[in-house]
Amino acid sequence: MRYLGLDLGSRTLGIAVSDPSGIIASNYQVIRHQEEYDELILKVKEIVEELKVEGIVLGFPKNMNNTVGPKGELSLAFQKKLEEEIGIPVYLQDERLTTKTATDILIKGNVSRKGRKKVVDSVAAQIILQSFLDRRN
C-alpha cells in the first residue's frame, strides 16, 4: 500500500511518498503556497492519482505539553478537507521536532543553507511518513 506523507507549513507543503509496499519513505517535493488550501488539496489529489496512493499521513503539530494549538487545529481542518475531497484515509502523525531533525540530518550531510531551505520540508515529511510506516509495520 503506497502512502503520501505531508508536512503542512504556513508557506510550504513538504511531500514524501512511500514505496509501493509501504515500507520505505522518500522525500518527493515541496509546494510553496500562500495559504490557498483548496488549491493545495487539488495538487495533492493530482499526486495521489498519479502515484496511485491509498493513504495519506499528515503531520500533526502538537505543543510539547501534548496540547493542540492553532497549527494543530489547522491540520485537523486540512485533514477533514483532504478526506472529503480525495476520498482516501488521512492519518495524523505526531510531528514534534521533525523539522529540527530534518535540518540536523541535512547539516550532517553538508547541505548548504540555501539547499536546506529548498528540501527541509520534504525531508520532514519523509520523517513523518517513515515514523508512521515503522509504527504500522
**Residue boundaries of the structural domains of the chain:** 3-136
Q: 95, 128 in Cβ contact below 8 A?
A: yes
Distance separating alpha carbons of residues 45 and 58, to the nearest angstrom: 14
> What CATH superfamily is the domain 3-136?
YqgF/RNase H-like domain (3.30.420.140)
> Amino acid identity of 46?
E
Instruction: List the alpha helices (DSSP H) in the chain.
Output: 37-51, 70-86, 98-108, 113-136
Strand partners, 59: 93
Query: What's the mean pLDDT in 47-64?
Result: 94
72 or 64, higher pLDDT? 72
Output the pLDDT for position 2: 97
pLDDT digits (tens, 9 = 90+) for 90-130: 999 988 778 778 888 888 887 788 887 778 889 889 999 99
Output the pLDDT for position 12: 92
| 34, 52, 55, 115 from 49: Cα distances, Å | 24, 5, 11, 29
Quote the pTM value. 0.91
36 or 99, higher pLDDT? 36
